[in-house]
Amino acid sequence: MIQDIYPHIYHNEYKDFQPENTDFILVFHRNTVMIRFKEEHLRYPTFSEMQSFSCDYQYLFSIDNYKYFLALPKSCHLEEPSIMIDGYHYENVRIFRSAASRHTAFAGITAHHLFGWYQSNRFCGRCGQKLLPDHKERMLFCPDCRNMVYPRISPAVIVGIINGDQILMSKYAGRSYTNYALIAGFTEIGECAEQTVAREVMEEVGLKVKNIRYYKSQPWAFSGSLLMGFFCDLDGSDQIKLDTSELAEAGWYSRDEITLEDDHISLTREMIMHFKNGNIS
């Protein structure tokens, strides 16, 4: 999956580092990232290439011994990127799904999740004062009212519904992602993940499920989520009642009918392959 970057090691401990010349700097503008390609590998600028720009820098994480920082330009233009370095260009963050050098792509999409949080929390939501970064943990605090703001991660479930030797696969309505997927949805306030599974399945395809069992989780920065994968069994009628506002289609597929291959990126795909390869019944 996208977070599996072995033999590289992701160090997520919060540190109060300042950037040095060879450290990598992530520069984003909305849903785009500033990169260049060296052969087919994507590259980020180093701090030494950023000297002429007026930015704040926020330490994000390290991979192996390489530190990654976020550039937060002092003047924030919504329409135009304020930073441009010769040889680099801006590209949609979707590139991180397919880019070679997987640990570099994982760094990029994780940094983009953090970028969204930093950019949306510049001021206190209670009193309007400018928020300041804490030095000990990843937290922003308000010097006036003491409001503390932690990174927002939205839990969501991915559901593999099993009906004998078939699994339910669906396609989203109105999205750029057109491959087969599994039922998915965000956890609402007041429910546990298993209740999210049962509710989302009922809402999207009108089915009852039982034997809900946890499989694996995955950080999925594209939607700011922590995805939690569950398998469950159909309970009762297999008649699908499609929510057409969410889904374009949904149906039952046997192992032989699944033509997808593992993309080594998404939990959804791994769960489909897990079923196809006969590892779940």
Which stretch, 137-145, 161-169, 243-251, 253-261, contacts Zn ion (CB under 5 A)? 137-145
Quick check: 142 binds Zn ion (CB under 5 A)?
Answer: yes
DSSP letters, the chain, are: -TT--TTS-EE---------TTSEEE-EETTEEEEEEETTEEE--BGGGGTTS-EEEEEEEEETTEEEEEEEESS--SSS-S---TT-EEEEGGGGGT-BSHHHHHHHHHHHHHHHHHHHTSB-TTT-PBPEE-SSSS-EE-TTT--EEPPP-EEEEEEEEEETTEEEEEEESS-S--S-B-EEEEPPTT--HHHHHHHHHHHHH---EEEEEEEEEEEEGGGTEEEEEEEEEE-S-------TTTEEEEEEEEGGG------SS-HHHHHHHHHHTT---
Span of 64-72, 74-82, 114-122, 125-133 interacting with Zn ion by CB under 5 A = 125-133
Q: How far is the CB of 55 from Zn ion (least distance, A)?
A: 25
> Least CB distance from residue 142 to Zn ion, whole Å?
3
Q: Which is nearer to Zn ion, 76 or 148 (CB)?
A: 148
Q: Work out how close the CB of 132 gets to Zn ion at its nearest, in angstroms, rounded to a whole number.
A: 11
Q: How many CA within 13 A on the CB side of residue 116?
A: 17
Position 124 contacts Zn ion (CB under 5 A): yes
The nearer residue to Zn ion, 147 or 163, going by C-beta atoms, is 147
Tell me: does residue 197 bind Zn ion (CB under 5 A).
no
Question: Which range, of 59-67, 106-114, 147-155, 176-184, touches Zn ion by CB under 5 A?
Answer: 147-155
129 binds Zn ion (CB under 5 A): yes
Alpha carbon distance 139, 136 (integer Å): 8
Which residue from 147, 206, 233, 243 is in contact with Zn ion, where contact means CB under 5 A?
147
121 binds Zn ion (CB under 5 A): no
Q: How far is the CB of 134 from Zn ion (least distance, A)?
A: 14
Q: Which stretch binds Zn ion (CB under 5 A): 95-103, 128-136, 167-175, 207-215?
A: 128-136
132 binds Zn ion (CB under 5 A): no
Cβ-based nearer residue to Zn ion, 82 or 129: 129
Residue 110 DSSP one-character state: H
- Minimum CB distance to Zn ion smaller for 101 or for 147: 147
Give the binding-site size for Zn ion (rule: CB under 5 A).
8
The reply to whether 131 sits near Zn ion by the rule CB under 5 A is: no
Nearer to Zn ion, 127 or 173 (CB): 127
8 A C-beta contact, residue 226 and residue 234: no
Q: Least distance (Å) from Zn ion to the CB of residue 57?
A: 24
* DSSP state at residue 181: B
Nearest Cα neighbor of 31 from 78, 98, 76, 100 is 78
145 in contact with Zn ion (CB under 5 A) = yes
**Residues in touch with Zn ion (CB under 5 A):** 124, 126-127, 129, 142, 144-145, 147
